[in-house]
Amino acid sequence: MAGFESMSISIHPSVSRLAAPVKGASDRSLRPVCFFDGVGDAILAEIGTRCRWAEVAEGEEIVTAGEFLDKVFFLRRGELRYLLYTRIGKIVALRGAQEGSFVGDTSLVGTTPVPYSVEAARTSLVASLPTRLFLECVDRDRDLARALVRHLVGREAQLADQIVELSTLNVQARIHNELIRLSRDGARPDGTAVIMPVPTHADLARRVCTQREAVSRELSHLQALGVVVRFEGGLLIPDVGRLKDLQIDLDL
């Protein structure tokens, strides 16, 4: 990628420390990032040549709560989590960013500090671009502008869904819902699914706004029923339909 090594675009210090060589030009392609669905090759290639790439280790931040963000991110591989810290120190996990996502909505305004931190939920490959350059491309390309609108509307729907879930479902139901969401990537045609890697009990608790002990009790209960089966490094759901049926019963 011409000019990649000589660029001086700055990124968050955490990402800078962890930046590692990315194997192969194909790994630096933005085309697999679903945010860019419908965006033409020319503008995508232009954005790609201006991006800075980094491997981010699990638990490392790319955005710190309270900072004025001046860049956007494209998640090529992995998963990012959004952590909101309340005044009393409680951590609330907002719906995270999955592979193919755009991250950095707050930077589009530029006058508002980021209210949450963003960190890697597992090792992730991230491309960053100064917001100024990204907005210049948006101004020139209608398809990219539409992609940004789709993202913002989708993100609003995600957060609205999370608010409804927290307001209307009990802890058990919220844990089941999160397991169902996590199982989607590992779903198999035979109705089974594998969640791998499995979030820690503390991480699951943050995702559904409860205590770690409540997650531990419910997972033990589901194991006793045979609804989930633990194995080294992962969690097997022998019948996703059964888990969904349990969820429906809790909703009634």
User: Domain check: are 179 and 144 in the same one?
Assistant: no
1 part of a folded domain: no
User: Domain check: are 17 and 108 in the same one?
Assistant: yes
User: Domain check: are 162 and 188 in the same one?
Assistant: no
Which H or E run includes 236?
strand 234-237
4 part of a folded domain: no
In whole angstroms, give the CA distance from residue 189 to residue 168. Answer: 31
The string of pLDDT tens digits covering residues 174-226 is: 999 989 988 988 899 999 999 988 888 988 888 888 889 999 999 999 999 99
Choose one of 126, 145, 166: the last residue of a domain: 166
User: Domain check: are 128 and 187 in the same one?
Assistant: no
Single-letter amino acid code for the residue at 226: G
User: Domain check: are 37 and 161 in the same one?
Assistant: yes
Give the pLDDT of residue 246: 82
Write down the residue that tokens 């503008």 correspond to: 43
User: Domain check: are 161 and 174 in the same one?
Assistant: no
Choose one of 166, 184, 214: the last residue of a domain: 166
**Cα angle: 46, vertex 128, 96; to 5 degrees:** 125
Buried b (16+ CB within 10 A) or exposed e, 68-86: ebebbbbbbbbbbbbbeee
Q: Domains in the chain: how many in total?
A: 2
Which H or E run includes 79?
strand 71-85
3 part of a folded domain: no
CATH number at residue 138: 2.60.120.10
In this structure, are residues 104 and 62 in contact, taking their beta carbons and an 8 Å threshold?
Answer: no
Mean pLDDT per block of 10 residues along the chain (252 residues) reads 33 43 63 95 95 94 94 95 85 89 93 91 95 97 97 93 89 91 88 88 88 92 92 89 77 53
The candidate with the shortest Cα–Cα distance to 77, out of 154, 23, 148, 11, is 23
User: Domain check: are 130 and 22 in the same one?
Assistant: yes
Give the pLDDT of residue 70: 95
Specify the DSSP class assigned to residue 107. Answer: G
Domain that holds residue 199: 169-251
User: Domain check: are 157 and 208 in the same one?
Assistant: no
CATH number at residue 184: 1.10.10.10
Give the pLDDT of residue 4: 30
